[in-house]
Amino acid sequence: MDLLKLDAEVRTDMGKGASRRLRHADKVPAIVYGAGQEPVSITLAHNKVWRAQQEETFYSQVLSLNVGKKKVDVVIKDMQRHPFKDLVMHIDFLRVDAKTELHTAVPIHFINEEEVTKAGNIVVHNLNEIEVACLPKDIPEFIEVDVANLEVGHPLHLSDIALPKGVTSVELAKGEDHDSAVVSASVPKAAKVEDTDEAVEGDAEETTEE
């Protein structure tokens, strides 16, 4: 099964009641819009959508929808899930143009975390994805961030992350004050308490000696 290709049918029956009936029939109501074209309401098989949405590439890569005899390239802009059931309620798809830059969130893969943890520190993921701007063909599957040399008090920011050619950070483009921390290292709470206790004991000893 190609998780980036889904078959869809044009939907003509609208309204909340119609959407409810579709879900009972194991269908997912959705809409396709953008690229200067009219929005089109569609339905997809829930079992295929549920399987596909478990993969991170489903959210960042260009998907191919077969709507009748027409193929439409899209990315996901929004997906609604049921609060406690294994159920996708609705999906918004945005059409993509091969020649038009788009914004999409790409997951981060952190590597070499063991180099930080073996020193007794904790790796804190401040971000789990980065919103990027690029042409559809340049969307990376993920962005790799090496934290081997991460030190406490010296987080890695967006400006420290090397992005693939043709890919830029949407946040950084807004200015230096949007240079968010991506990942940082911290000392475990237990270690902080021990350090504090030792410092207090040391102060007490010095006071006694005086």
CATH code for position 108: 2.170.120.20
SS3 of the chain: helix, strand, coil, percent, to 5:
25, 40, 35
Q: Higher model confidence: residue 197 or residue 41?
A: 41
Q: What integer pLDDT is reported at residue 206 of this predicted model?
A: 55
The total of structural domains in the chain comes to 2
Q: Is residue 12 part of a domain?
A: yes
The half-sphere exposure of 94 on its side-chain side, counting CA atoms within 13 A, is 17
State which of 96, 112, 132 marks the end of a domain.
96
Q: Between 62 and 18, where is the model more confident?
A: 62
Would you give the distance in Å from CA 31 to the centre of its chain? 21
Evaluate whether 117 touches 58 at the Cβ level (below 8 Å): no
- Reference 163, options 108, 202, 91, 82; nearest CA is 108
Same domain, yes or no, for 50 and 128?
no
**Model confidence, pTM:** 0.78
Residues 87 and 109 in one domain: no
**At 78, which CATH number?**
2.40.240.10
Q: Which two tokens stand for residue 107?
A: 């997951």
Q: Which range of residues forms the domain containing residue 154?
A: 103-192
Check residue 190 and give its pLDDT: 62
- How sure is the predictor about 21, in pLDDT bands with cuts at 50, 70 and 90? low
